[in-house]
Structure formats: structure tokens, C-alpha cells
Amino acid sequence: MERVAVIGVGQTKYETDKRETFHELVWEVANKALNDAGITVREIDNVVTISSDFWDGRTISTMAVSDTSGGYDKDITTVEGDGTFGVLYGMMRILSGSFGTTMVVAHHKGSESNMAGITNTSFDPLVERKLGLDAITSSALQARRYMTVSGGTEEQFALVSVKNHGNAMRNPFAQLPMDITVEDVMASEMLASPLKKLDCSPVSDGAAAVVLAAERSAKKMTTNKKRVWLNGVGHCTDAYRLGDRDLADTRALKKAAKKAYDMAGVTLDDIDVAEVYDAFSYMEPLWLEGLGFCEDGQGPEQIERGNFTLDSELPVNPSGGRLSANPVQVAGLAGVIECVLQCRGEAGRRQVRGAEVALAHGINGMCGQSHCVWILGK
Amino acid sequence: MADWKSEVEEVVFPGKICVPYSWTVGSTLSRWYVQLRDDGEIWANRCPSCGTVYVPPKIKCIKCYKDMNDWVKLPGTGTIETFTVVNKERPGLDPKKPPFVYAVIKMDGADTGMVHLIGGVEPEKVKVGMRVAPVLEKERDGHITDIKHFKPIA
Amino acid sequence: MGKRVGIVGVGQTHHASHRLDASGVEVIAEAVTRCLDDAQTTLDAVDAIIIGNMDHFENINYVDMWAVDGLGGCMKPVFKVTTGGTTGTTVGAAAYYSAASGMFDTVMAVGWEKNSESDTQAAIATCANPVLERDPFAGAIGPLATEYSMYMKAYGATEEDAAIVAARDRNNALNNPYAHNRMHVTVEDVMNSPMLSYPVKFLDMCPRSDGACAVIFAVEEKAKKMCDRPAWIHASVVRHDYTHFGDLEWQWMPTLERATLQAYKYAGITNPVKEFDVAELYQPCSTTGVKWLDSMWFCERGQGPKLIRSGATHMDGIIPINPSGGVVATNPIGATALIRVAEAAWQIMGRAGDRQIPNVKKALATGFGGCSWSDVFVLGADLP
Ligand SMILES: [Zn+2]
């Protein structure tokens, strides 16, 4: 199979209450990605936008950005969900042989929408929606289940928040760089037990873009230093209703990860750095179990041992993660971009030394119903 | 882009999407809700192939994709598998004034759990593993809220 | 290069204005089950699933997650694509590319909508830019009426020309057991139906329907084993225009012309009217069945009325259009464009029942939506 490379990346600073419109945000990052790749929009032959009619408050939300994404008079399409799935479709379009260079761009303005109300519409209107569940309350159910199964504690989860907000201090794009302690997290406002405010990601605005190119053209278009290969990917969806799943079971992620590792031909030892979906603090150790970096139930303890800090064997979320900026559709794409920067050695003060193989992870749906796992490499 | 705000006033339009909805409940859940509304009973259905018992009932087994015509009446009791005490108000969403409790209840006689409210107990006393039974509304209209909440039993 | 891909199975619901007998997930399951039956296979043979609809018609966020019970998607790779009216072809294209990429051998595309569950025009109106165009924008009928009145003035097309198309498609639907509106209609009936927005009358316009459609795409090796006459994908092309309604060209359809010409190039089509045996076109209003023909190079610019009046596009004509009854007979929006691909595939597979055109070797299917966006599929009985 031919390979596909990321040849350009661009992202806004993630903030709340941005006053630029969706198309201005996309204009900014699409241009940054093109400039980073050293190409013009004329060399883009197709576009994948990632947007959500719910968060954008607009039917056919891609209409807001199909001009500034470079989609005019081109073959353009839209994935609704996390940015990692947009990259997946962008890559498959190239591998199909129909396209050579794909722009993948995502935008999100959480500050213009109502997170609780919108995530409530993820629940079945015929059953659970009327109970008022949303992302935070359903995740709280998952957090407690995970504590029950693993014996993990709120303090162990708090360490994830401390670590990732600390990492964000080294990332100029992050929204919430913070020097905090476990006590700060524990003392923050209780939203839905066991989740406190600092266990939860913020409301964020921002956009991100990557330019993908087929091996045949990538080598002509860019320098060796800029190219980072998409070596493996896997995605998998679990059951819908929370009661259909054991919320501490990560079987869908395990299946997605295995596919990504097999396709890339890597083992866990090969992976130098990982961007794991941490919209809530407990998710990082839970997904690290699904990804295979911890035995089932061992995630919280390994967090406590400091196994995933910046100076550890496997730094996790050097960007600061979703806890430090969570523009929903953009979130996983920002993780992909962080992996690209790490593999290029362009991650500045958060650079993981010698990073050659990186893992990015995104989720769709409530409590990680669907996962997309990427392996990128130099 | 960053400095335009020093030259021009930032304008923001408020907006709201106002579209009415009506959701068809369908063959499987209609039957379930009518049983709940008229008889005050919670039923489940069972996969003819693998035997998995689902509540709320399924249109197809999620493992086998088989039609589900085999109905079983549940006792209604169950065990709290996980819960959360909601403290922070969410205007327009909260089914009651916080603090209140959501839980996943593993239902006796079924292989799945139901998400619902826990009531009749101080929120801080709710525990994983607690046995609960449903408390039904007297006036029922055929919705999930016909179950007022689940309450702890001895 | 990518793999060659064919369609090996198609399923659709019996579409209706209100499917009160089935929930959204049940409607999806109905299409999926029929698709698996048509392909004589089971879900085990489906490696990945792509689903699409329009969010604000049912108000279900993360439809790809909510739908897994109906899709049979539990523990499978699933994701969602959506682009408005073109969603159905967008889903089809995503399934096609997923298979052609070599990542998956068999991919199921599912489009669905239950338009009865909301106010379709109120939801569509929110597609306009909220700070510029949303307040004056009034749904789908106005722009279609405006573009046809311009075309009438420019080329001498008439209201009757559109009525011929409306009567053709509606009568064709009598041969399609899945169609939503099945009634015998004369040109006079169309002309006498209530005026919605001049020159568009009630029987010119598509309905809003409840329904779903599923299509299985398979790579060459698999397709040959699964189906004795797969419908091979010869081309899939999309073109978008500007995204403000005020910026659009209304007298012809630039996106349709650009997309079809590119697709013809890929598929080696030089004389579409002669080379296609059938066309299933996303024409949301009978007026577009007159006006858009020149943009597909079915005729010289402005000659659509002549082609329609000649009978060439009727069932016994040289290029039958919409044997299924098309969009004016059936319109579950997120499925509508996929139904075009599905019907074109069935024509090639010889499974189109009473609406079958004899010996179809090449078929054209289109999608329309968004801000005058066009999607085009070319299908063939022979390998591309
Ligand atoms: Zn079963």
C-alpha cells in the first residue's frame, strides 16, 4: 500500500470567546498549513472539513468554511465527529488513487454554544435524553465505574490534570497553562461527583488544519524534515447505551489500537510519545489501558508513579492535552498535529527527545463509544 | 487578525435554532413504554440466538443482529453499578434541583443496565452495589420518566 | 493506485411521508437488513460502515453512535459524513473511497432521514449564514423557483416543460414499490396544482419523506465473489460553489457541469445521451429536470425543453431519466442521493423490477444540495 504523509500543519491559539468567525479561523489555519508545507492552494486537489451542525448552530455547517478551506470548485466533503476521523477519511481518499493532496481542516467555537445542551442531544430522545444527561454527568458515571473496577482514586485522576496543565505551560497554543497541585484540583468546584472542575476540559474555540500528500507527490513537495508519515490507523465503535457497556471496559479502543499497531508494524515499545484523549482527567489512564500501555486496572497507579510525565519513558499529552484546550471537533486533530511537531523535532520546550514514533487518539460519542488511533512516524 | 478588535467594535448576534421535533418510538420501545405506562411493569427482550437479555429492549441483538421477539418480565429490582451526584446546576436540563443522583443500574434478570435517577435517599448515602427498586409515577404518560426514580431497598 | 470497487447489494425502505411504524433506528435496520439480503450476505462480511443524515431534521447528535443498533455497527469501524442534500452521495463516495483505499474490503453506506420528525423548511433555513442571509432566506423552494424563471426568460422554457418532467417522474414511480408518492398524474394535473412560488407548483416539487437506503461497496476480488453482475464505480466526483446564495450563478449549474465533465473524463464518456442507458438524477423540483440537462451536456445550452418535449428522457426514450420516480416522488433527504446511486446500481445489476431498463451497461447518478453543490457517480456493468 502506498503511504501518505502529513506535509503541513497549522493551528490557532486555543482560547475562549474568540471573536473571529468560523471561516476566519479556518482561513488562518489553512494558510498556516499551506505555508508550513510550502505549497499553494492550487496544489490541493480535495478538502475534508470537520464540523458539526450542532455546535455550529447551522444546518450544513460545512457551508461556513468551504470557501476558506480552499474547497471552491474542488472535491470537498465533510466528516462530522472528531478530527482524527477526518484525517482517516482524508488519507483513504488519497489511498483510493483518486486524489494526491488533501486539506483536512476542523473548527469549533464552544464559546458560542451550550455544551450541556448539545451533548444532551447525543442521548436517545426515546429513552435517556429526558433524564438530562450530558457529557459531564455521563463521564462522571464512567469515572466512578473506573474507580470501582481499578481501585483508582480521585487524587490519582487529579495528577493527570496537574501534569497536563503543567505541560501546557510549554505549549504556546494551549488555552490553560497552569501550575497547579493535586490539592487545587481536589478543592475545585464539584460538578458531578467524582468530577471536579479541574478534572474537566474547558470550553474552547479554535481551528486546526493538516495537509496530507501521497508518497508519490510528498517527496517532491516537501523536505524530508517536514514529512511525517501516517503509518497506521484503526477505528472501532462500541455499543450506544451506557448500560449496554461496562464503562470501564475499553474493548473498542483495544480493537482500534491493535489495527493501528499492526498496520504500522510497531509494538508498544516503539512508541515515543502519545496524545491521548483526555477531555476528563480519568480518561487518560483508562485509555492508556485500552492502548495497551497499562494492564487493565493499572492506569491510575501508573499515573501516580509518574510514568507518563514529560521526562518519563512515554510522555503522554505533552501539548497539555484536551484538559488544557478542548475545541471538540478539533481536539483529536490538535493531537495529530502535536505528534507531527514532535516527530519533526519542532515541539519547542515540550519536545520529547528523539521522538520518532508518535500516537494520536480521538473519540466520538459519549464516554468514548468510538475510538480512532493513529501511529505517525518519521 | 488579532488586532482588529482595537479598531472595530466586536459585534455578536444572539441566536437560537427553533425547530419542533416529534420522535417515532417504533415497534420495540412502544411496546415497552405501553407496558410501563399501563401495567407498571418493566420488560426486557432476549436474543433468540445468544440469549442476551436487554433492558431497555433492543430492535436487534447488538452481538448477533437477530430480531428480538422474545419478551421477559423483569422484577424491576437491580444493583447500582455506578452513580454520580450532580452538584452543578444545568439550566433547562436538570430533571430536578441539584444535588441529585444519576446511576447505571444493573437490572435483575437482564444482562444490561439502565440509566436513571436515584431518589428516596440522601445523595451522600448512595453507594456502588446498593440494591434498588423502581418508584413509579401514579400518572404515567409512557416515557422513561414514568419511573420517578429508583430507591434503595434492604 | 487504488482498487477497483463495485456495488454488490442495495436495500431501501418503503418510503412514506410518516413512517409512524418505525423509529429512526428501525428505519435504518430495515434498509440494512434488505441490503444484506440483496447481497445474500451477513454483517460479518461488512468490514466498515459509513452513515449520514442531516442533524437538524431529527436532532440526534452523533448519529453514527446512536444508530449502531440499527446499523449492526457494534464493534465495527463506523463514522459519519454529512453535506446537506448531497449527504447520500457523500456517504456513497466515502464508502467507495474506503474500499478503493485498500483499508477495507467491503464497506456499507447508509443514508437515512425521518423528515416527518421535524419542520423541514425551518431546519433547512438554518443553513444560511446567520449574520448575513438567514433572516431573508426562506427554505428550498424560493431559489429553485427563481432560477427557473430566469431560465424561462433566457431560453423560452415554459411551465409546461417542467410539468412534463413532473408527470414523467410521478408516473414512473408507479413502477417502483419503494416510492413515497405513487399516483397517475397528467401534465394538466401538474399545471392545475396549487402555485407554491411562481413558477413552481405543488406537483413540481419534491415531498419530504421518511426512509433509509443502504449500499454495499466491495473491492474487485470480493465483488466478483459476492455478485454475478456488480455495478462497478467508474467515477465519483464532487464540486462545490461559493457558499453565499447571493454569489451563485443561477442561469446554469456550474458545479453540475464541472462535476459531470470531470466524471465523463474519468469514465471515458464523450456522448452522454448515447452512452448512458439510464440516469437517476437528484432533481428536487421538476424545473431542474429541464434546466440542468444542459449542464450535464445532455443538450446544447438552453435546449433542455426540446429534449424533454421529444420524449427522449421517458422510459422508452434514448436516455430514460428517473425510472424510480426520482426525487419528486421520494425524498428522505439524507438518503435521497444514495437512492440515486442505489437505483442506478440496480439497473445495472438487472434488479430494478417493473422499472428495469433493458440491458443497462452504463448509468449516471447525481446528488444535489448545500449551496448548489453537485455530486456525480458513473456506474458500469464492465470493469472500469
Ligand atoms: Zn444475540
pLDDT in tens, B39-58: 999 999 999 999 999 999 99
pLDDT on residue B1: 52
pLDDT band at A345 (very low <50, low <70, confident <90, very high): very high
Q: CA-to-CA distance for A241 and A124, rounded, in angstroms? A: 8
State the pairing for strand pair C78-81/C48-52: parallel
The secondary structure of chain B, three-state, reads CHHHHHCCCCCCCCCCCCCCECCCCHHHHHHHHHHHHHHCCCEEEECCCCCCEECCCCCECCCCCCECCEEEECCCCEEEEEEEEECCCCCCCCCCCCCEEEEEEEECCCCCEEEEEECCCCHHHCCCCCEEEEEECCCCCCCHHHEEEEEECC
Question: Minimal CA–CA distance to A55: which of A13, A101, A110?
Answer: A110
pLDDT in tens, A200-255: 999 999 999 999 999 988 888 888 888 999 999 999 999 999 999 999 999 999 99
pLDDT on residue C247: 79
Cβ–Cβ contact B94 with A under 8 A: yes
Q: Which residue's entry shows cell 495528577?
A: A159
For residue C111, report the distance from its CA to the centre of ligand 1, in Å. Answer: 25
Verdict on whether the full-model pTM lies above 0.95: yes
pLDDT in tens, B50-96: 999 999 999 999 999 999 989 999 999 999 999 999 999 999 999 99
For residue B47, report the distance from its CA to the centre of ligand 1, in Å. Answer: 5
Among B56, B85, B92, whose Cβ lies nearest the Cβ of A193? B85
- As for the ipTM of the complex, it is 0.97
Q: CA-to-CA distance for A217 and A63, rounded, in angstroms? A: 29
Among C75, C78, C127, whose Cβ lies nearest the Cβ of A58? C127
**Vertex A207 angle, CA A202 and A209, to 5°:** 135
Identify whether B5 is part of a domain: no
How far, CA to CA in Å, does C273 sit from each of A343, B150, C270?
53, 67, 9
Among A116, A143, A145, whose Cβ lies nearest the Cβ of B81? A145
If you average pLDDT over every residue of chain B, what do you get? 95
> 3-class SS at C325?
coil
| Inter-chain CB proximity A128 and B128 less than 8 Å | no
Strand-pair partners of B43: B73
Among B18, B59, B65, whose Cβ lies nearest the Cβ of C26? B59
Question: Minimal CA–CA distance to A29: which of A378, A333, A324, A360?
Answer: A333
pLDDT on residue C372: 83
Q: CA-to-CA distance for A369 and A260, rounded, in angstroms? A: 18
Q: Which residue's entry shows cell 463514522?
A: C79
For residue B111, report the distance from its CA to the centre of ligand 1, in Å. Answer: 11
pLDDT in tens, B15-40: 888 888 999 999 999 999 999 999 99
Identify whether B8 is part of a domain: no
Domains in chain A: boundaries:
4-114+204-218
Identify whether B4 is part of a domain: no
DSSP calls for A291-356: TTSS-TT-HHHHHHTTTTSTTSSS-B-TT-TGGG---TTTHHHHHHHHHHHHHHT--GGGPPTT--
Identify whether B122 is part of a domain: yes
Question: Is it the case that residue A183 has pLDDT exceeding 70?
Answer: yes
User: In C, which residues are within 8 Å of A252 by CB distance?
Assistant: 75
Residue type at A352 in one-letter notation: V
Q: Which residue's entry shows cell 491559539?
A: A13
Q: CA-to-CA distance for A208 and C308, rounded, in angstroms? A: 48
Taking one residue from B and the other from C, the number of pairs with CB-CB distance under 8 angstroms is 70
pLDDT on residue C150: 94
Q: CA-to-CA distance for C25 and C213, rounded, in angstroms? A: 12
Q: Take residue B41 and report the three cell numbers written for it.
A: 411493569
The residues of chain C scoring below 70 in pLDDT are 1, 137-138
Question: Is it the case that residue A175 has pLDDT exceeding 70?
Answer: yes
Q: CA-to-CA distance for C80 and C53, rounded, in angstroms? A: 8
CB A93 within 8 A of CB A78: no
pLDDT on residue C137: 67
How far off is chain C from B27, nearest CA to CA, in Å? Answer: 6
DSSP H helices, chain A, are 22-37, 53-56, 83-95, 115-120, 135-150, 154-168, 182-187, 215-221, 251-264, 283-290, 299-304, 331-344
| Inter-chain CB proximity A79 and C60 less than 8 Å | no
CA dihedral of residues C343, C346, C350, C352 (deg, nearest 10): -50
Cis peptide before C384 (omega within 30 of 0): no
Chains that touch B (3 or more CB pairs under 8 A): A, C
Q: How many CB atoms lie within 10 A of CB A49?
A: 30
Question: Minimal CA–CA distance to C6: which of C106, C110, C109?
Answer: C106
pLDDT band at A66 (very low <50, low <70, confident <90, very high): confident
Which residues does C140 contact at the CB level (< 8 Å), separation at least 6? C121, C124, C284
DSSP H helices, C282-371, are 286-291, 304-309, 326-329, 333-349
pLDDT on residue C132: 79
Q: CA-to-CA distance for C315 and C95, rounded, in angstroms? A: 30
For residue B52, report the distance from its CA to the centre of ligand 1, in Å. Answer: 6
If you measure CA to CA, which chain A residue comes closest to B16? A57
Identify whether B16 is part of a domain: no
| Inter-chain CB proximity B59 and C119 less than 8 Å | no
How far off is chain A from B113, nearest CA to CA, in Å? Answer: 4
Q: CA-to-CA distance for C16 and C178, rounded, in angstroms? A: 9
Structural domain boundaries enclosing B31: 21-152
pLDDT in tens, A94-126: 999 999 999 999 999 999 999 999 999 999 999
Q: CA-to-CA distance for A22 and A68, rounded, in angstroms? A: 9
For residue B46, report the distance from its CA to the centre of ligand 1, in Å. Answer: 8
User: In B, which residues are within 8 Å of C78 by CB distance?
Assistant: none
How far, CA to CA in Å, does A280 sit from each of A12, A158, A176, C2?
22, 10, 14, 39
As a whole number, mean pLDDT of residues A284-294 equals 98
Q: Take residue A276 and report the three cell numbers written for it.
A: 491521548
Residues A240-255 as b or e (16 or more Cβ within 10 Å = b): bbbbbbbbbbbebbbb
Q: Take residue B127 and report the three cell numbers written for it.
A: 453507594
* Superfamily, domain A4-114+204-218: Thiolase/Chalcone synthase (3.40.47.10)
> 3-class SS at C215?
strand
Q: CA-to-CA distance for B9 and A70, rounded, in angstroms? A: 29
As a whole number, mean pLDDT of residues A34-55 equals 96
For residue C66, report the distance from its CA to the centre of ligand 1, in Å. Answer: 19
As a whole number, mean pLDDT of residues A56-82 equals 92
pLDDT on residue C135: 75
How far off is chain C from B133, nearest CA to CA, in Å? Answer: 27
Q: Could you tell me the maximum CA-CA distance found in chain A, to the nearest angstrom? A: 56
| Inter-chain CB proximity C29 and B60 less than 8 Å | yes
Among C67, C75, C240, whose Cβ lies nearest the Cβ of A72? C240
Task: Give chain B's domain count.
Answer: 1
**Vertex C89 angle, CA C50 and C39, to 5°:** 60
Q: 3-state SS of chain C: helix, strand, coil percent to 5?
A: 45, 20, 40
Identify whether B9 is part of a domain: no
**Complete domains list, chain C, with CATH:** 5-119+206-378 (3.40.47.10)
| Inter-chain CB proximity A63 and C243 less than 8 Å | yes
Q: Which residue's entry shows cell 445521451?
A: C273
